[in-house]
A and B are shown apart, each in its own frame.
Chain A
Amino acid sequence: MISSKSSSTFRFVDRISKAEPWEDRLLRMILWPAGVLAGTVSLAIVLVITIEAGPGLGEIGVVRLLADPSWHPANGRFNLLPIIVDTVLVAALATSLAAAAGILSAIFCTSFAPRMLATCFTRMIELLAGIPSVVFGLWGMTVLVPAVAALAPPGPSLLAATLVLTLMILPTVTLVATSSLSRVPASLLIGGKALGLSAWSIATKIALPAARRGIATGVVLALGRALGETMAVLMVSGNIVQIPGSLFDPIRTLPATIALEIPYAEGLHRASLFVCALVLMAIVLTTVCFIELFQPESARD
């Protein structure tokens, strides 16, 4: 069972060596600020959002945020619950679809496709990663939504939003998963071949488990993007505040609410939109902690 115990090797070296070379000391002095800086960016953002959301939480109160009759801030109603449900729903659906499609594509690239084809496919996916959300939204609005509307009115719906979102986060999962799968030690794969396993079995039973840490990273990054994506979802989801009864019902997500209303929101309305942002970050934090703590990831150390 190959496992990388890099830190333990270095720690062993640290224990037995007497003096740390000057370059390592310098390295340590450079790296720690970098790491701390990276770690505190989100804290700074949470701070700024909390300051702006303060009046919202204070005056409106958590109970009203969940129990008001509807979301009509101009009329003093601040029920966020349907919006929260919609956000989680569409993100979960899109991430599941993207994870499945992304992992399958990664297996395609590493195990099944001829080299040329795999390279072309990867280039295409890299391009997909750079297309602005506006363009996805435009395409979704002018092409996908009428197609969905032909199945069931009105067209902008949970389904349309899920499909567009899946397309947007697919490159992240695919590229990271491909990268992880290609780093699986060849010896494992050869061993599988020696045992006479089919390509599919090697991919799913040997390569995937070995690369699961990297793939999990890709999925978490994609989930983050799915929860936070604004522009494209805004154009194809219909933006009606309700809990959908079917895939064809329109929904509204937290980021879309912020984007739609913040240009024209003042006072308490504006503060309530920052509360939306805070709620979104709480959702992301909960999900991330859950995944991080649930995955023992004991392959290292």
Chain B
Amino acid sequence: MISGLRPGRLPHPGTVLVWSVPLAICAVFAWMLGDILLHGLDHLSFSFLIEEPRKSGRAGGIGPILVATCLIVTICLTVSLPISLGAAVLLSEFLRHADRSGRAIRISLDMLAGIPSIVFGIVGNAVFCRFFGFGYSIMAGGLTLACMVLPVLIRTTEQAIGDVPEAYRLGAVALGFSKLRTIRRILIPIAAPSILVGALLAVGRSFAETAALLFTSGYVDRMPSSLGDPGRALSIHILDLAMNIPGGDAAAYGSALVLIGLLFFINGAIQCITLVWRRTAGLTAAI
């Protein structure tokens, strides 16, 4: 039974709109994906995922690049998730909305969201590579990315926690829970699906980011042996192949396909983990 459709009468214009817009978006996505598949599918193979790049990336594979990308994203999430969770809890539970410090932090975060990625790259280079002495490294790239995803993570988490109904907090207070216990055992598990949205957007942004990583984690496509080594991220590899290397198109599209596949896998994994965690925390998927 599709809501909005009444038998025997023309569909409501609102219904038409609500169905046609997502359809249009799907069509465009299919168009894009089709274009990438067309140009890149031939280039894919198992060895492509494992080997080192040769001939500036036109031959060989993307093994070291995949490793570097995963390391960068891992650092980004490891650093940004705790900070953003903390800041979000602070904003939502400990500060009144109209509080000056709360307002200042929110405005500061929204401003952070509007900084171009290239500026992050240049500042990240000055701060993490030079000032902190990491040099061109995966560490510097991950930290810069962590700064970039803070706004998304904090704002969505703050919204999610704040929207948990009052009844739960009242119940917790009645049972004599401390704030920490309430937050940890009740608020966060309930808000988890929405916190997850922020995390997924952050993961997406990490994979999609190019300019910021170019100046921080670098261009070297050697297999990194530590977090202090430079490493080339997948998005930079695609950029280089498409924009800088004659004849790099096929490999660029192939790498783009791998990136989309990897993202699909990681998003799915995060969803599964959260589902399992919520079940063990005693919540069903219905809440």
User: Taking beta carbons and an 8 Å cutoff, which residues of A are in contact with B?
Assistant: 2-7, 9-11, 13, 21, 23-24, 26-28, 30-45, 48-49, 101, 104-105, 107-109, 111-114, 121, 123-136, 138-139, 142-143, 167, 170-172, 175-176, 178-180, 183, 185, 198-200, 203-204, 213-214, 217, 220-221, 223-225, 227-231, 254-255, 258-259, 262, 277, 280-281, 283-285, 287-289, 291-292, 297, 300-301
- A31:B89 contact, CB within 8 angstroms: yes
Distance between A47 CB and nearest chain B CB, rounded to angstroms: 9
Neighbouring B residues of A221 by C-beta, 8 Å: 110, 113, 151-152, 155
Neighbouring A residues of B95 by C-beta, 8 Å: 7
- B159:A214 contact, CB within 8 angstroms: yes
**1/0 contact string of B207-244 vs chain A (CB within 8 Å):** 11111000000000000000000000011001100110
Neighbouring A residues of B159 by C-beta, 8 Å: 176, 179-180, 213-214, 217
Q: Supply 22 A–B pairs (Cβ within 8 Å), ascending by A.
A: A5-B166, A10-B173, A21-B178, A27-B179, A35-B87, A37-B87, A38-B87, A39-B104, A41-B108, A43-B108, A107-B18, A112-B4, A130-B260, A135-B256, A143-B35, A176-B159, A214-B159, A224-B111, A224-B115, A228-B114, A258-B119, A277-B119
- B115:A289 contact, CB within 8 angstroms: no
The distance in angstroms between the C-alpha atoms of A254 and B114, with both chains bound, is 12
The distance in angstroms between the C-alpha atoms of A289 and B19, with both chains bound, is 35
The distance in angstroms between the C-alpha atoms of A34 and B18, with both chains bound, is 40
- Which 3 residue pairs spanning A and B have beta carbons closest together? A34-B86, A224-B113, A284-B114
Neighbouring B residues of A280 by C-beta, 8 Å: 114-116, 119
Distance between B255 CB and nearest chain A CB, rounded to angstroms: 10
List which B1-47 residues lie within 8 A (CB) of chain A. 2-4, 12, 14-15, 17-19, 21-22, 24-26, 28-29, 31-32, 35-36
Query: Which single residue of chain A is at the shortest CB-CB distance from B266?
Result: A130
The distance in angstroms between the C-alpha atoms of A255 and B12, with both chains bound, is 42
Contact pick for B111, options A7, A130, A180, A281, CB 8 Å: A281
Neighbouring A residues of B127 by C-beta, 8 Å: 44, 48
The distance in angstroms between the C-alpha atoms of A228 and B12, with both chains bound, is 38
- The answer to whether residues A199 and B15 also contact, given A4-B166, A179-B197, A259-B211 and a CB cut-off of 8 A, is yes
List which B163-185 residues lie within 8 A (CB) of chain A. 163-166, 169-170, 173, 178-181, 183
Query: Which single residue of chain A is at the shortest CB-CB distance from B85?
Result: A34
Question: Would you call B117 an interface residue if the criterion is a C-beta within 8 Å of the partner chain's C-beta atoms?
Answer: yes
- A38:B111 contact, CB within 8 angstroms: no
Distance between A44 CB and nearest chain B CB, rounded to angstroms: 7
- The answer to whether residues A130 and B207 also contact, given A30-B86, A43-B108, A221-B113 and a CB cut-off of 8 A, is yes
Query: Which single residue of chain B is at the shortest CB-CB distance from A100?
Result: B21
- A175:B200 contact, CB within 8 angstroms: yes
- B35:A292 contact, CB within 8 angstroms: no
Contact pick for B25, options A101, A217, A224, A288, CB 8 Å: A101
- A200:B12 contact, CB within 8 angstroms: yes
The distance in angstroms between the C-alpha atoms of A124 and B204, with both chains bound, is 12
Query: Which single residue of chain B is at the shortest CB-CB distance from A91?
Result: B114
- A127:B264 contact, CB within 8 angstroms: yes
Question: Would you call B91 an interface residue if the criterion is a C-beta within 8 Å of the partner chain's C-beta atoms?
Answer: yes
Could you list 8 further interchain pairs (A-B, Cβ under 8 angstroms) beyond the known A133-B235, A143-B31, A287-B114? A7-B92, A104-B17, A112-B18, A132-B207, A132-B235, A180-B163, A277-B115, A281-B114
